[in-house]
Amino acid sequence: MTTTTPNAARTRLPRGIWVLGFVSMLMDISSEMIHALLPVYLVTVLGASTLTVGFIEGIAEATASITKIFSGALSDWLGRRKLLAALGYGLAAVTKPLFPLAPSIGWLVAARFVDRVGKGIRGAPRDALIADIAPAGLRGASFGLRQSLDTVGAFVGPLAAIGLMWWTSDHFAAVFWVAVVPAFLSFGLIAFALNEPEPDASRTPARNPLNTAAMRQLGPVYWRVIAIGVVFTLARFSEAFLILRAQNIGLNAMWVPAVLVLMNITYALSAYPAGVLSDRINRTALLALGLIFLAGADLALALLPSLSGLALGVVLWGLHMGLTQGLLSALVADTAPPSLRGTAFGYFNLFTGLALLAASVIAGALWDVYGPAGTFLAGLGFALIALVGLLTVGNGLATERK
C-alpha cells in the first residue's frame, strides 16, 4: 500500500473535521451519561428484569446497524451528506428529554429505539462527509481525530454521571436532564457550524447504491477491507467482558466503571497520533501492530488475574482500539469510489456490527463453559488468525487514494 505524505500547504486539518469531531464528542458525552446509568435505572427504579435490559440493548444496536446501510446509500443517491447526518444527531437530541420523563419501561424502549435510529442515520453519512472534506494525504489524521474526540466523550460521560450521582444523592432524573444539554449543543454545531463542500460537478450521484452493480463497482480491494474489518471485530468482543473480568478478580463495584474510563483514555490518546502516522507509513503495518497489542491484552487478561494484570490488559486493549478503528475507516475511504462512500461505510458498519454481535455471543458461551481464561485465550487465537490474514492480503490494500 502506498501512502501520500501531506505537503506544507495541507498539513492543517480542515475546519469541518474539527467540527465533526466536537459534534461526536458532545453527543457521546450525552449518550454515555445516560447509558452508564440506564441498566441500573431500569432494574432498580422501574423494576425491569435483566432479560428486558438485554432485549432493549439488542434491539437498539441491531436497529442502528441496519439503519446505517440505508442512510449511507441515501446520502450517495442524494449526493449530499450533511442533511442526513444532522437529522441523525437531531433525532438523538430530541429523545434525550424522554429518559427523565419516561413513566414506564415502554417509553424508555421507544426513546432508546429512536435514539439508535438517529445513530444509524448519522453514522455512514458522517464518515463519508469526513472522507469528502479531508485531503487524501490527511485522511488517516482526520478519521483519527474524529475517533479520538468521540472517545473523549466515552470517558467524560461516565465520569460526569458518577460525579452528578454523588452530588445529587443518586437522583437519576437530574443526571438525565443534564445529559440533554450536550446533545442539543452537538446538533447545533452540525446544523449551523458545518459547511458541506459542494459536490464534484463531474461526479454523478449513484442511481441505486444498493443494487448488485453498485456492489461490484465498490471493487475487490474494498471488499477485502470489509473482510479484514470483520475478522478484526471477531477478534475483539464487547468491552463488557473487561468489566466482567474486573468483577471476577474482585474489584470493588464502585471502581468497576474505571475499567472503561482507563480503556477509553488510552484509546483517545492513541487514535489521533495513529491516524497522523498512518498518513506517512504503511497503514497495514499499524493495523498489524494493533493486533499484536490485542493479543497481548488477551494474554494478560487470561493469565494475570490481578489488578496489575487487569490494568495492563485494559491499556493494551485501548491501544489496539486506537491503532485500528480510525485506520479501518480511512481504508474504507481510500478504497471506495467517491460516489459510493456513504454506501461503503454503511456496509462496513453493518458487517462489523454483526461480527461484534457474533463475537460477543461466542465469548459469553466460552465464559460460561471455560471461565474468563478460556474466553480471552480464544480471543488471543482469533487475534493471531487475523494477524496472519492481514499480513497475507494486506499488501494490496489501498494502492491508490481516491
| CATH assignment at residue 84 | 1.20.1250.20
Average pLDDT value for residue range 90-111: 86
Cα 159 to Cα 165: distance, rounded to the nearest angstrom: 10
| Statement to judge: residues 163 and 37 lie in one domain | yes
C-alpha–C-alpha distance, residues 70 and 95, integer Å: 21
| DSSP state at residue 400 | S
Query: Which cell numbers hold the place of 67?
Result: 439503519
Give the end of a domain, one of 142, 169, 196: 196
**Cα pseudo-dihedral 339, 342, 343, 349, rounded to 10:** 150
Of 7-11, 115-119, 240-244, 260-264, the least confident = 7-11
Q: In terms of domains, do 113 and 251 share one? A: no
- Tell me the range of 90-104, 121-135, 307-321 where mean pLDDT is highest: 307-321
Instruction: List, in order, residues 6 or more apart from 199 with CB less than 8 Å away.
Output: 79, 80, 205
Neighbours of 239 (CB within 10 A): 19
* Residue 149: partners with Cβ closer than 8 Å, 6 or more residues away: 21, 22, 24, 25, 268
Domain edge (last residue) among 134, 161, 196? 196
* Residue 50 or 222, more confident: 222
How confident is the model at residue 43, as a pLDDT? Answer: 67
Q: Give 294 or 202, the one with higher predicted confidence.
A: 294
> Closest Cα partner for 235 from 277, 306, 296, 281?
296
3-class DSSP state for residue 378?
helix
- Do 183 and 306 fall within a single domain? no
Mean pLDDT lowest among 37-41, 129-133, 224-228: 37-41
Give the helix/strand (H/E) hosting 340.
none
Residues 185, 228 within the same domain: no
What cell does 307 get? Answer: 489488578
Query: In terms of residue numbers, what domain contains 262?
Result: 207-396
Overall average pLDDT of the 114-135 stretch: 85
**Sign for the pseudo-dihedral over CA of 53, 22, 155, 325:** positive
Can you give the pTM of this predicted structure? Answer: 0.73
Residue type, 26: L
Q: How many domains are contained in the chain?
A: 2
Last residue of a domain, one of 137, 162, 196: 196
Q: How far is CA 141 from its chain centroid?
A: 16
Q: How much is the pLDDT for 232?
A: 81
